[in-house]
Amino acid sequence: MDSAAGTTAAPLRIGLLGTGPWARNTQAPALAAHPGVELSGVWGRRSEAADALATAHGTRAYTGEEGIDALLEASDAVAFALPPDVQAPLAVRAARAGRHILMDKPVATTVEGARAVADAVAEAGVASIVFCTLRFAPETAAWIAEQTAVGGWFTARAQWLGSLYAEGSTSEYADSPWRREKGGLWDVGPHALSVLIPVLGDVEHLTAAAPGPADTTHLILRHSSGASSTVTLGLSAPRGAAGVEIEFRGEHGTASAPGWDGAETAFRGAVDALAETVRTGVPHACDARFGRHLTELLVAAETQARA
């Protein structure tokens, strides 16, 4: 088999916690179709939603507190499609039970929550992946690796504007309470940072402001390489203004991020990365520690922007 998970002797049993749009549209289909994975079950807070999603993908439904323990017992790893501050304590619980974890970004919206996850993963010695889409989509993952190898970058610009809350939007993701509360900084900020940091180095200084319309936030970053970057984030852009642009400029010229083939393909890449980490024991760069660092940066940005 071509996938990393497919090289193991037996399928990696991965349970899914969550039944919302993200689980239905991305994670459950990707896990059910992955040749190296057995979707070991679906847990949801609402039994009817868990039943429907499990039935759609030929697996078992779980609900309630006892259902979490039963799903962990039936799984080698768990994937999360839950709000970040619901995800974090359950990820700690899974790691302490010896289960590998595949988390959504952000890991948590508090430093304490993200630190607890990273600490639990380290203490249990389990594998962890934080799903930042562009780090695992084949097209953008290859492009990030290429720009990291090129080096010599002077500055970069990242703009990630969604139209989730634009007039006339019918996106089911707009019903997410945590996205509405935290805005683009927390929802799409991790994606932008997950591209800039591996290419330009860690963030040594951060300035944030929210002078734009609705939830629009602007960041100015200085990186350990000496390069600087600017980031514009939001979920309320008019539909005609929405889009993603990431560009690096340096001594070798200009490089712009390519498009990618959707979240489901990227999530399969994250599953492959988890399986590879399980097999080799070598931590992935986009793991719980990186997730903790993203939360630290976002908390600092939010604090500045609110001030």
* Confidence at residue 2, expressed as pLDDT on a 0 to 100 scale: 39
- pLDDT of 85 higher than 60: yes
- pLDDT of 260 higher than 60: yes
Any idea which of 86-90, 140-144, 165-169, 262-266 has the lowest mean pLDDT?
A: 165-169
- pLDDT of 168 higher than 70: yes
- pLDDT of 154 higher than 90: yes
In this structure, is the dihedral angle defined by the CA atoms of residues 277, 149, 223 and 206, taken in order, positive or negative?
negative
Any idea which of 50-59, 139-148, 166-175, 279-288 has the lowest mean pLDDT?
A: 166-175
